[in-house]
Amino acid sequence: MSLSQILALVPEALWESIYVAVISTAMAYVIGLPLGLVLVVTAKDGVRPMRAVNLVLGGIVNFLRSVPFLILFFFITPFTRLVVGTSVGSPATIVPLVISAFPFVARMVEQSVKEVDRGVIEASQSMGASNWQIITKVLLPEAKPSLINGAALSATTILGYGAMAGIAGGGGLGAVAINYGYYRQNYLIMFVMIVVLVLLVQVFQEFGTRGSRLSDRRIR
């Protein structure tokens, strides 16, 4: 295989990797963002402490986070088939990615939101803010720069997991690296895919860092 033939494989694989990562990240946030907020709000020092809820949700998050991604991938195959009708290909990768990533996202969100100064929350309470208003008008806006940073980190992690799924019938850059590179022992292909992945991670990270900096009013 010539280099130009190899490069011809890149666009489709790149596109698949990007859309799997972006859709999975978005869906992981749909579950992880509210979950992370609930973890902060119901914590002992939160605005609405609820011990039982916090313990149960924290337990689920810890449990899912301790299952290695590839194991989870195979383990939930029946569920994946139920949801998307197949267990191979890019759309099928999204299901295990989301399940694997949302607990991680929840913890990232929890960390970011916890950084919001306790005094600011109390000041808002003294002004008559409801818990919902504290979440939407204080916690989320004040944690925004940190949340954006976290989203970039989550997206790059999910991108990496997505590449890993290439070994088990997923699509994208990882699949090309494994199918053409590893199984056919073409190290050039593997190398090219790695370079593309590295560049992609750089782009995701740069987006996150810039977005976070531009949105942060504390510096300048």
Partner 1 sequence: MAMIELQHLSKTFGSGESAVHALEDVTLSIEEGEIFGVIGLSGAGKSTLVRCINLLERPTSGTVLVNGQDMTRLSGRALREARRNIGMIFQGFDLLMQRDALANVRFPLELAGVKRGEADARARELIKTVGLEGREHAYPAQLSGGQKQRVAIARALATNPKVLLCDEATSALDPTTTESILELLKQINRTLGVTVVVITHEMRVVERICSRVAIIAESHIAELGEVQEVFLHPKTEAAKKLVLPSRSGKLEGFAEDAAATAVDECRGELIRLAFDGSSTDRPIIADMILSCGAPVSIIYADTRTIEGRLYGHTVLQLPADAATAEKMKRWLENEGISYTKEVQ
Q: In the complex with partner 1, which residue's Cβ is closer, 111 or 125? A: 125
Build a one-symbol-per-residue string for 18-57: x at contacts with partner 1 by CB under 8 A, - elsewhere.
----------------------------------------
Rounded to the nearest 10 degrees, the angle between the axes of helix 140-164 and helix 3-41 is 140
In single-letter form, the type of residue at position 135 comes to I
Spatial distance between the Cα atoms of 134 and 128, rounded to a whole number of angstroms: 10
Q: Which residue has the tokens 């290695």?
A: 68
Q: Which residue from 66, 152, 59, 150 is spatially nearest to 111, judged by alpha carbons? A: 150
The answer to whether 7 and 192 have CB atoms below 8 angstroms apart is: yes
Stretch near partner 1 under the rule CB under 8 A, chosen from 16-24, 74-82, 132-140, 164-172: 132-140
Q: Which of 51, 210, 213, 217 binds partner 1 (CB under 8 A)?
A: 217
Q: Is the dihedral of CA 63, 68, 74, 79 positive or negative?
A: positive
Asked whether position 124 contacts partner 1 by CB under 8 A, the answer is: yes
Among 77, 111, 125, 205, binds partner 1 (CB under 8 A): 125
Is 220 a residue that touches partner 1 (CB under 8 A)? yes
Report how far residue 105's alpha carbon sits from residue 33's, in angstroms, rounded to the nearest whole number: 7
Q: Which stretch binds partner 1 (CB under 8 A): 4-12, 82-90, 124-132, 204-212?
A: 124-132
**Number of residues located near partner 1, criterion CB under 8 A:** 25
Q: List residues near partner 1 by CB under 8 A.
A: 117, 119-120, 122-130, 133, 137-138, 141-142, 144-145, 215-220
